[in-house]
Amino acid sequence: MSEHQNEPHDEIVVECTLPEAPEKVWRALTVPELLGAWLLPNDMRPVEGEHFSFDGAPGEGGKVECEVLDIEPHRLIRYSWRDAGTARDGLATSVTFRLDPADGGGTHLRIVHEARVVAWPVARPQTLAANSNRPATMALAA
Helix spans in the chain (H)? 22-30, 32-38, 125-130, 134-141
User: Does residue 43 have a pLDDT over 80?
Assistant: yes
Q: Which CATH class is domain 9-141?
A: alpha beta
Regarding predicted confidence, which is higher, 124 or 30? 30
Instruction: Give residue 82's pLDDT.
Output: 86
Average pLDDT, integer, range 25-43: 96
Average pLDDT, the chain: 82
pTM to 2 decimals? 0.75
Q: E strand or H helix at 18, and its extent? A: strand 9-18
Q: Which are the contacts of 45, defined by CB distance < 8 A and separation ≥ 6? A: 52, 68
Domain ranges of the chain: 9-141
Query: pLDDT tens-digit profile of 60-90?
Result: 668 889 999 999 999 999 999 988 766 565 5
User: Residues of the chain with pLDDT > 70: what percent?
Assistant: 69
pLDDT grade for 56, boundaries at 50, 70 and 90:
confident
The side-by-side arrangement of strands in the sheet containing 63-72 is 9-18, 107-117, 91-101, 76-83, 63-72, 51-55
User: Residues of the chain with pLDDT > 90: what percent?
Assistant: 56
Regarding predicted confidence, which is higher, 35 or 56? 35
